[in-house]
Amino acid sequence: MARKLTAPDAAVALLTGQILIAMPTMADPRFAQSVIFMCDHSARGAMGIVVNRPLASPSFEDLLRQLNIDPIPPARSIRLCAGGPVDNARGFVLHSTDWTGEGSLKVDASFALTASLDILKAIAGGGGPRQGVLALGYAGWGPGQLDAEMGQNAWLSARADPALVFDDKHETKWRRALATLRIDPLLLSDVAGHA
């Protein structure tokens, strides 16, 4: 059932479905030069997936073995990334909306989020969504916390382009995300402007 947005929710819900781009002055090393896809942002808090921190291990095949999912080797594979510092033993698949299963959350017309094993089974069997990334953990904020960080000039936000979110060029993703806003990171200030 859709929730009616109140005036405060209407303002903050705008970040759902967008990307957050860490400012060059980000002090928290867990988020330095990170690009985060925002799955939800409301007055109750926010949740996102870091999309530019690849994991070398476990491999997708190793993960399938741990979860007893066949076939091994899988017919298809999916990239794994460190989705954020919260609950990093839990997996989330951020994916294109051409596939959804029970429990999938459709974020917008281009992105969905699924945390069930059904999606891993579908991918291993050769099906599933056309594009996706498996994130271990997520980035989370309590009520008003992300809004305060935005006010402190810790993040920029931009439209989420599936080509950027799902590509595997992680070493340049942060700069390319800034470039979508026509921003050179060397010219950014860490001081928020106030009228």
Tens of pLDDT, residues 5-52: 334 444 445 899 999 999 999 989 999 999 999 999 999 999 999 999
Number of domains in the chain: 1
CA distance 111 to 101: 13
| Token pair for 99 | 């596939």
* Residue 128 near residue 122, CB atoms below 8 Å: yes
Query: Mean pLDDT throughout 96-123?
Result: 96
Please give the share of the chain, as a percent, with pLDDT higher than 90: 83
Residue 170 included in any domain: yes
Residue 11 included in any domain: yes
Residue 179 included in any domain: yes
pLDDT on residue 103: 87
* Residue 92 near residue 114, CB atoms below 8 Å: yes
Residue 195 included in any domain: no
Residue 114 included in any domain: yes
Task: Say what the pTM is.
Answer: 0.88
Which CATH number fits the domain that encloses residue 113?
Answer: 3.40.1740.10
**pLDDT tier at 183, thresholds 50, 70, 90:** confident
Cα distances (angstroms) measured from residue 11 to each of 97, 154, 187? 25, 18, 28
Helices (H), 1-81: 7-12, 60-66
Query: What rounded mean pLDDT belongs to the chain?
Result: 89
The range of the structural domain enclosing residue 167 comes to 7-187
Residue 129 included in any domain: yes
Q: Which residues of 31-46 are buried (b: 16+ CB within 10 A; e: fewer)?
A: bebbbbbbbbbbbeeb
**If you search the block for the tokens 């498996």, which residue do you land on?**
134
Residue 194 included in any domain: no
Residue 59 included in any domain: yes
